Amino acid sequence: MASHAENTCVPAAVANAGAIAGGFPAAAKPALHGNNADVIIQTLAERGIQHIFLVPGKLIYPLIKSIDGSSIAGIVAAHETACGFMADGYARASGNFGVCLGISGPGTMNFLPAMAAAQADKIPVMYLAGGIATYHEAQGAFQDGSNSGIDELTIVKRC
């Protein structure tokens, strides 16, 4: 019989995140249900995340809907830079990691000052950004951040 991860195209690393992180034994791992947004939010809730700081946008509506149906409180910020610093402050005060959510392209670029501060101080903050469908990348789609000329992977590295 195929595993739940194989049936829903959930990457094994996400489906087994609890076992990998040591959160709970693999045999006792609860099943993850729903679309990708639901799985992301369920996984964060299982890790004890109680707040996600976000700037709403069309590209993250599925995640916002999943947050609304979860135990996690979505806290809206007026700007992505403020959102990033709110998650940073939450991580410093709570001892848990902070999570912030925004859109791709300009939203992701607005996270950069907060990312730099968190990295410099080794504060654990997760930055999530919605994006356009991959088949629209590099075609001039609205808020396509793929051709920004900035290599986000070298900017955002492990603390």
User: Which pLDDT tens digit goes with each residue over 57-112?
Assistant: 888 899 999 999 899 999 999 999 999 999 999 999 999 999 999 988 788 889 99
Residue type, 84: G
Angle between helices 106-120 and 80-94 (to 10 degrees): 30
Query: Is residue 3, in this structure, part of any structural domain at all?
Result: no
CATH number for the domain harbouring residue 126? 3.40.50.970
132 in Cβ contact with 144 (< 8 Å)? yes
How many separate domains does the chain show?
1
88 in Cβ contact with 38 (< 8 Å)? no
Query: Is residue 145, in this structure, part of any structural domain at all?
Result: yes
Query: Is residue 63, in this structure, part of any structural domain at all?
Result: yes
Query: Is residue 41, in this structure, part of any structural domain at all?
Result: yes
CA dist., res. 94 & res. 26, Å (int): 27
Residue 18 has pLDDT above 50, yes or no: no
Query: Is residue 111, in this structure, part of any structural domain at all?
Result: yes
Q: What is the pLDDT of residue 8?
A: 40
105 in Cβ contact with 144 (< 8 Å)? yes
Q: What is the pLDDT of residue 59?
A: 82
In which domain, by residue range, is 112 found?
A: 36-133+141-157
Query: Is residue 90, in this structure, part of any structural domain at all?
Result: yes
CA-CA-CA-CA dihedral for 130, 136, 138, 140, to nearest 10: -90
Query: Is residue 8, in this structure, part of any structural domain at all?
Result: no
Query: Is residue 1, in this structure, part of any structural domain at all?
Result: no
User: Which pLDDT tens digit goes with each residue over 126-149?
Assistant: 999 887 666 666 666 555 555 444
